[in-house]
């Protein structure tokens, strides 16, 4: 399976991650199950943003509220691993809800996409750029 994203949007996410070497960046992804159409950068409110991310709940709730009244559906989120690999960490796995959410993880100029298909686990999705 794969997830589609424009090369321009993907480059923007990679650049944002590269520009933040000391803290994980994070944000929300919008679109459909198979296509990321937009992204919104959010504040990382984690206690230790160098090693973790927590999307600002105000932004999260606002996005879900917009989606309920016809706005773009939230399909997942992205975050970076400033000193790691673009693969889910144990902490990420602990937050995988098995809800089909798309997780884009950015590290070292590379983006990889994962989908949470069961609690605590991910499958990788190929990123198809258009
Ligand atoms: Zn992570």
Distance 61 CA to ligand 1 centre (A): 21
Residue 119 forms beta bridges with which residues?
A: 97
The pTM (predicted TM-score) of the whole model is 0.96
Domain boundaries along the sequence of the chain: 2-129
* C-alpha–C-alpha distance, residues 97 and 54, integer Å: 15
List, by residue number, the catalytic residues: 24
Ordered per-residue pLDDT tens for the chain, 130 residues: 899 999 999 999 999 999 999 999 999 999 999 999 999 999 999 999 999 999 999 999 999 999 999 999 999 999 999 999 999 999 999 999 999 999 999 999 999 999 999 999 999 999 999 9
108 C-alpha to center of ligand 1: Å?
A: 13
The CA distance from 51 to 111, in Å, is 18
CATH top-level class of 2-129: alpha beta
């Amino acid at each position: 399976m794969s997830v589609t994203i424009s090369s321009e949007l993907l480059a923007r996410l990679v650049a944002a991650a590269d520009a933040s070497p000391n803290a994980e960046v994070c944000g929300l992804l919008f679109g459909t199950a198979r296509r990321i159409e937009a992204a919104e950068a959010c504040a990382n409110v984690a206690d230790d943003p160098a090693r973790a991310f927590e999307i600002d709940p105000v932004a999260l709730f606002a996005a879900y509220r917009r989606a309920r009244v016809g706005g773009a559906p939230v399909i997942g989120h992205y975050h970076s691993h400033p000193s790691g690999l673009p693969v889910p960490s144990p902490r990420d796995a602990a937050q995988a809800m098995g809800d089909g959410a798309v997780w884009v993880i950015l590290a070292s100029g590379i983006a990889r996409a994962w989908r949470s298909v069961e609690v605590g686990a991910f499958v990788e999705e190929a990123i198809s750029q258009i």
